[in-house]
A and B are shown apart, each in its own frame.
Chain A
Amino acid sequence: MMPNILFLIIDSLRSDKFPLETQHSNCPNILSLKKNGTLFSNTISSANATILSWSSIFTSQFPFKTGIRSARFNKLNQDITTSFDILKNNGYNIYGYLPKLSETIGLFPKFQNEDYLYDFYGGLSNGLAEKTIEKINSSLKSPWFFLLHSMDLHQPINVSKEFDTDEFGNNSYEKKISEIDHYIGTILKKIDLTKTILILTSDHGDYIKSTEISEQNLDFNQNSTRDQFVHKISKHTPNFLKPVKDQAFLAIEKRNQERKLKQLQNLNLQDYEKRALIAGKADKDHFLFDELIKVPFLLAGPNIPEDLLITQQIRSVDIFPTIFNSLNIKFSSDIDGINLSPLLDGMEFPESPAYIESNPLVLTNSNDVIGIRTSKFKYFRDKDDATKRVHLFDLTVDPYEENNISSDEKLVQKCENILISIVKDFSSNNSENAPESDEIEQELRKLGYV
């Protein structure tokens, strides 16, 4: 009998804030889950935002290969096999909860529970945990795959009163993680980990908009109640007023940023703190710092090693090949993700560079970047011009990515070569030579090389 699978995505959960004993959050349930499973603490998401990250997790391919570019434009290429297709072909029934935004990209199938789409602010702490428990208690058809995407940690963060004390964290982000932990605990009570695989991961990280300076807490978190109110109102804006509404949004964001810059002017803050505090939703310049792309990946359940921490860099594209391997499910080899089971077996396994890209803005043009991350270096540059907006960081000595060493032309070239080898592979695959490529693949298959 195939095990059931609970796949939990905590939107915006950063790897460095994943509840460990050393963190400020108070998370007994996630800690216990960690003891029962394997945590990959250096998982690199392919993108800094939800849509592209989803496209990559659920196809095991880098986003640029999937056809999905943003929430407004492009849907999944029709010839791509998703993880849902593979699960369905292997008898899985698909359930779960997703934000309505997911409808726009053609990646997700229709789930078997009709109420699977929720409005943008759905989260474990405002009803999704209860709904999930209700579904698990009812007769889900086994084997089931339950995908739960929770927006609790997405800005603006709204911490409930019960968790809004120092005991649960130093800032609203940490406190919210403690709150999420509580609800995860309620779900875990209903899950038998000897028969269910549980995956806990995130789509991307986020800037934490508060810091302590001279024992004072500087908090630039948005007013969540106001934000949710504005969101509700804007949903009912007539179409002819939308351009005006969008302009108003951009103007407000600009004003907010100017205000924040003024406030920070004379404060002695590190660069990484500053960029987190001033970041806004309408920023045109996009970056790919670790706080935005490094996520946790926790795997627990049958045949998964317990209490194992793997610090080697892996990628979110590797998640499904690893799950499918543990289920003995065959999957296409024509993907970017790789099966990480040797790492679970304690074997040495070569690190692969992670391709990364920023998510374009929808309302206006943004300056987007593409790049690569290895355990040693982070490199990203303008998506269309290799000479513009070049950022290179030596992660071994500069983990906060504050010292751009892009003047090291040799090193830049080396990283650019890795990036090109990933992107070029795709272009050659999709060139006019594609039929020849297929023929070569057939010949290589005869020789046992594919």
Chain B
Amino acid sequence: MDGARKDRTLKAKNYSKLIENSLFFSTVIAYAPFTIAAMHAIFSGTYGTKTGVNSYWSNINFKKDDYKTLPLYLQDKNYVTHADVINKLVLPPLGFDEFVIHDELNDDLTQRHIQLIDKFNKIRKNGKNFFLYLHYSNIHTGIMQEVLKKYDNFSKEYFQNRTKNEKFYDELFSSADDYLGKIIEHCQNLNLFYDTLLVVVSDHGISTGEKLGERAYGVFCYDYTLVSTALFHHKKLPSTKINQQVRSIDILPTILEIMNIPIDKNFLPLQGTSLLSLNNQKPVNNLAFSQSGNPLGSTKPPKEPNVYSIRTNDWKYIRNIHNDSEEVYNLIDDPHENNNLIDMEKQKTKELRSELDRILNS
């Protein structure tokens, strides 16, 4: 669910219904607040600093010999694999038997994806396992047409009209939720969930004009774009909502554990860890590392990330490489990250700064 914000996810009708019957992680910190780097991290269980995909431009740098991706794990287990994606840059194509690009402007994704589900249900009935990756791209489509193409990151007209932006995003999200509802209903009609794991993730959030300088995403490292969600629906999984912070790189090891697939030791170790043992009583303070690329007024994203952040359940530290500045926020008192405590929280800053350096140097 490309660009699905956490706040809307929690309120949406169909999403909510599904959450009630699933293992749901409400605070998944994306490695990057833009699809290309975010999805490569999800599929490899590893940050882009390691895999080579850390910017809009770097999918060609993916270290395929070092990191094994989800479809490759499944292909090795004789799954038939298929991706229906928005663009060829967004995922590492390795391991997919078919890697198909849909037309986000003209295709009816609900109809298209239902047809794909039908096709793979037949394969399932023939005794074969399948992995179907469906990319819901129409939130992106709306944002591209009405925001990315019409405004720049500093357009007064956009940032002075928060209510209008929120309303527009709500409309896009409502369609996304309708899509999800129809897909779930269709799967239920096919009795697909009897033996199928459903994973629903968002890759990143989206701005509705919270901070001047970022009209959509992929610029800063604030929560409105970094916080995403992940949902695992399977009859053997508990119906639990986990609110503590986890990382998008944890999704792959979680899927592998659910499916009893061991991590392949012939590749470099994953940075993510399985989330199956997590519960709300026992918070695990995993640090979440993220990177973004502030275009700084240029109309192209930079080739290298220039904004780094590290987040705990309570704190966030941001390092802006492009202008050598730092930010620290107490996420409990200041969830909208308006009050930079860099001059007041010296000890906390030092601690987070060194954690960030540790990850960068690891």
Q: Which residues does chain A contribute within 8 Å of B60, judged by CB atoms? A: 433, 436, 440
User: Most chain-B Cβ atoms within 10 A of its Cβ — which of A352, A377, A441, A447?
Assistant: A447
Alpha-carbon distance A429/B301, docked complex (angstroms): 13
Question: Given that A351-B323, A353-B323 are contacting pairs, would A443 and B144 also be in contact in the complex, using a CB cutoff of 8 Å?
Answer: no
Alpha-carbon distance A36/B56, docked complex (angstroms): 42
A352 touches B87 (CB 8 A): no
Alpha-carbon distance A443/B148, docked complex (angstroms): 15
Q: How many A-B residue pairs have CB under 8 A?
A: 96
A448 touches B149 (CB 8 A): yes
Question: Given that A350-B213, A350-B323, A444-B56 are contacting pairs, would A450 and B300 also be in contact in the complex, using a CB cutoff of 8 Å?
Answer: yes
A126 vs chain B, min Cβ distance (A): 40
Is B324 interfacial (CB-CB < 8 Å)? yes
B301 touches A449 (CB 8 A): yes
Is B342 interfacial (CB-CB < 8 Å)? no
Q: CB-CB contacts of B178-198 with A at 8 A, as 1s and 0s?
A: 000000000000000000000
Alpha-carbon distance A347/B157, docked complex (angstroms): 12
Q: CB-CB contacts of B49-84 with A at 8 A, as 1s and 0s?
A: 000000011011000000000000000000000000
Q: Choose among B299, B303, B322 the residue that contacts A450 (Cβ–Cβ < 8 A).
A: B299
B156 touches A352 (CB 8 A): no
Alpha-carbon distance A352/B213, docked complex (angstroms): 13
Alpha-carbon distance A450/B303, docked complex (angstroms): 12
Q: Which residues of B, 213-258, contact A by the 8 Å Cβ criterion?
A: 213, 218
B193 vs chain A, min Cβ distance (A): 32
Q: Choose among A336, A417, A448 the residue that contacts B321 (Cβ–Cβ < 8 A).
A: A417
Is A418 interfacial (CB-CB < 8 Å)? yes
Is A333 interfacial (CB-CB < 8 Å)? yes
Is A437 interfacial (CB-CB < 8 Å)? yes
Q: Choose among B86, B154, B299 the residue that contacts A349 (Cβ–Cβ < 8 A).
A: B154
Question: Given that A345-B156, A443-B87 are contacting pairs, would A350 and B324 also be in contact in the complex, using a CB cutoff of 8 Å?
Answer: no
Is A245 interfacial (CB-CB < 8 Å)? no
B218 touches A353 (CB 8 A): no
B299 touches A353 (CB 8 A): no
Q: CB-CB contacts of B301-328 with A at 8 A, as 1s and 0s?
A: 1111010000000000000111110000
A437 touches B57 (CB 8 A): yes
Q: Which residues does chain A contribute within 8 Å of B87, judged by CB atoms? A: 443, 446-447
Is A259 interfacial (CB-CB < 8 Å)? no
Alpha-carbon distance A339/B306, docked complex (angstroms): 19
Is B89 interfacial (CB-CB < 8 Å)? yes
B7 vs chain A, min Cβ distance (A): 23
B213 touches A421 (CB 8 A): no
Q: Which residue of B lies closest to A436 (CB)?
A: B60
Is B212 interfacial (CB-CB < 8 Å)? yes
Q: Which residues of A, 403-450, contact B by the 8 Å Cβ criterion?
A: 414-415, 417-418, 421, 424-425, 428-429, 433, 436-437, 440-441, 443-444, 446-450
Q: CB-CB contacts of B1-13 with A at 8 A, as 1s and 0s?
A: 0000000000000
Question: Given that A374-B323, A449-B56 are contacting pairs, would A347 and B297 also be in contact in the complex, using a CB cutoff of 8 Å?
Answer: no
Q: Which residue of A lies closest to B213 (CB)?
A: A350
Is A342 interfacial (CB-CB < 8 Å)? yes
Alpha-carbon distance A351/B133, docked complex (angstroms): 41
B234 vs chain A, min Cβ distance (A): 32
Is B296 interfacial (CB-CB < 8 Å)? yes
B124 vs chain A, min Cβ distance (A): 32
Alpha-carbon distance A417/B322, docked complex (angstroms): 10
Alpha-carbon distance A340/B294, docked complex (angstroms): 16
User: Most chain-A Cβ atoms within 10 A of its Cβ — which of B213, B306, B322?
Assistant: B322
Q: Residues on A close to B: CB < 8 A?
A: 333-336, 338-342, 345, 347-353, 374, 376-377, 414-415, 417-418, 421, 424-425, 428-429, 433, 436-437, 440-441, 443-444, 446-450
Extra A-B contacts (11), CB below 8 Å, given A441-B300, A443-B89: A334-B300, A347-B212, A348-B212, A377-B324, A421-B304, A424-B303, A428-B303, A443-B88, A444-B301, A447-B144, A449-B34
The 6 A-B pairs at the shortest CB distance, nearest first, are namely A338-B297, A333-B299, A448-B144, A448-B148, A342-B154, A425-B303
Q: Residues on B close to A: CB < 8 A?
A: 34, 56-57, 59-60, 86-89, 140, 143-145, 148-149, 154, 156, 212-213, 218, 294, 296-304, 306, 320-324
